[in-house]
Structures are given as structure tokens and as C-alpha cells.
Amino acid sequence: MARLSLNRVEDILNAIQGKRVLVVGDLMLDLYITGHVERISPEAPVPVVRVDEEASALGGASNVAANAVALGASCQVVGVVGNDSHGVTLARELERMGARTDGLVRVAERPTTVKTRVLAGHQQVVRFDHEDDSPVGPSETDGLLSMVKLLIGDCDAVALEDYNKGVLVPAVIRGSLQAAADRSIPSVVDPKRLNFFEYGGATVFKPNSRELWEALGEPIHPDNPDWMEAIRARLDVETLLLTMGEKGMAVRTRSQPLLRAPTAARDVYDVSGAGDTVTAVVAAALAAGATSAEAALLANHAAAVEVGKVGVATVSPEEILEHCTRHPDVD
């Protein structure tokens, strides 16, 4: 079992304070309409939801930024929003929680990605998605790359968060990773299937088990060191960090032994947003000087805290430290 000393946890969390993380990727706004059901509609066999409350939250790359800020890092965000009210709301929410939005590229003909969930009695009734997930065009690509090159010089780590919503096209991926490499800045990638093999050169590549299985088209073997090394080399990344839910994590770094970390979660209420939390913690920890293995172990604890909360949530340094203190995989 991999271990991270409590003193080292404290050192990393303290070093994260004030570090600068650049988040590039698919920005999303989550809307929640909550109510209760007392009858079925006379118009169709569907429930009538009487609305009690409406709320919004940051999703996708926006949630990675929110998590980085919650850890005590500063954050710049690069992504696309529409020239619509949802884009205004998303930018306002990012600014409210402390992220900078200089890098937002506004596109009049492209809507802000919004997921609207209708809930009744804690049960999701339906979800509406407003989005254009086609790849961004040449002018938007140029705008995104210009923002990355402008902002990356002031950053200590870069996180690329891909939700297949069209922002992380190959040119943006390559340009962002090259800009990070040119400045010796660590990069963290949370990939999706469409451009899965475009992230060569990343410091940490963080798929989940389903994403890796689907991309490879073959069974995965996270406990086989040779197999993990072969996949890491095929992806051409420094570290392959495979997240596996209740089975924990497998980490293979160039020239380092396979690290297996069991899940640190004890109470799981909602896994929504856990991947975003892991991405943010790994990026912030690398910015603070942690090794990839240390960053993964710290993120494992952070994810355990996040899934113990209802809905998409952020995690504070105090919560991570308290979780590390309570559980036995920390010396």
C-alpha cells in the first residue's frame, strides 16, 4: 500500500497556497430546478414538478477551476462561452469564487454549454442539455491559443479538462502542452475519447478505467506493471494516472515502480465532480513541487471527501488534512 506521511501532506497543502493554475477546456454551467411532485399531468403521463428552488453551479473545466481556488491556488481560465445570459452567469460565478476570466473567448453563434437538471424529492426527473459540441473553428482556435500563450507565463501548472464539447481540438491541445513544456510547467490532462491519443508530452494523463478501456479497445490490466508501462509509453506521457472508482488508483511513472492506491472513500453519496477534484488537486500539487505519485495520493484523499458530499462540490485543504488524519493509509 502506498503511503504519504501526514507531515508531507501538510507541506504540500501549505505550498499550494498562492500557486497559479491555468485551466483550459470545456466550460459548463449546471442549473438545478428542484421541486416536488403531487400529481401526473393530464396532458401526458409525466409528473408535474412544482418548482421550489433554482440554483446554478460550475461544471466541467469551470469546476476544476473552482476546486483549484478552494485549495488556495489562484486560477486563470481559458475556454469558450456564448454571447448569452448563461455565459454572463458562468463568468460571474467564476469571478465570484475567485478565478480570473481574462481568457474567456466569447462566440456569438455558439451557446454556452448548460446542463439543466430537474429534481423532485432528490430524484432526477429529466436533464436538458443546451450545447454545440462541434469542434471550434479556426478563429476560435486562434483566440484560445493566443490566450494560453498570453497567460501561461504567469502560471505554475496547466490543467486540460476535456468533456468532448469542442474546445480541446488537436491544435489547442498541442499548443497548450508545448507552451507548458517550453516553460517547464507541469501539465495535467483529463481526457475524453475523441482526442484521447493527442496528449503526448503531458506530465500526468488521468483517464478513468472506462475511458482507457474504450480508447484501447482491449481489457485493461492496472495491476500489471509491464502493461501499465507499455500503455504509458504508447501514450507518450510522463505519468499515467488511472482512476478506478471504488478500486482506487493505479499510477505508472516513467522509470518508477507501479503504485496502487486503494480508494480512500468510506461514505459515497455522489460521485459527480470527483474527477474534476482529482484533476485540480493533482495540478495544484504539482505546481507546489509534489511528485506525480504524491499528487495522486493527495488527490485520492480529496476525491474521498468530495464523494461524501451531495452534488458537485469543492474540497478545502482543511478537509483533506482531516481526512488524511483519520484514515490509516497515512503514516
Annotated catalytic sites, by residue?
276
Q: How many CB atoms lie within 10 A of CB 331?
A: 10
Cα-flanking dihedrals φ and ψ of residue 14, to 5°? -65, -40
Pairing state of beta strands 204-205 and 239-243?
A: parallel
Which residues on adjacent β-strands are paired with residue 120? Answer: 35, 123
Q: Rounded CA gap, 195 and 210, in Å?
A: 15
Please name which of 108, 178, 95 lies closest in space to residue 140, comparing C-alpha atoms: 108
Treating both helix axes as pointing N-terminal to C-terminal, what angle do 317-326 and 292-307 enclose, rounded to 10 degrees? 90
3 state DSSP class of 5: coil
Question: What 3-state DSSP class applies to 132?
Answer: coil
β-sheet bridge partners, residue 115: 30, 129
d(CA 196, CA 99): 27
Give the span between the Cα atoms of 331 and 7, in whole angstroms.
9
Task: Specify the DSSP element, H or E, that contains 138.
Answer: helix 138-151
d(CA 112, CA 109): 10
Phi-psi label, residue 104: left if phi above 0, alpha if psi -120 to 50, beta otherwise: beta
| Residue owning grid cell 505550498 | 15
Write the DSSP string, 95-123. Answer: HHTT-EEEEEEEETTSPPPEEEEEEETTE
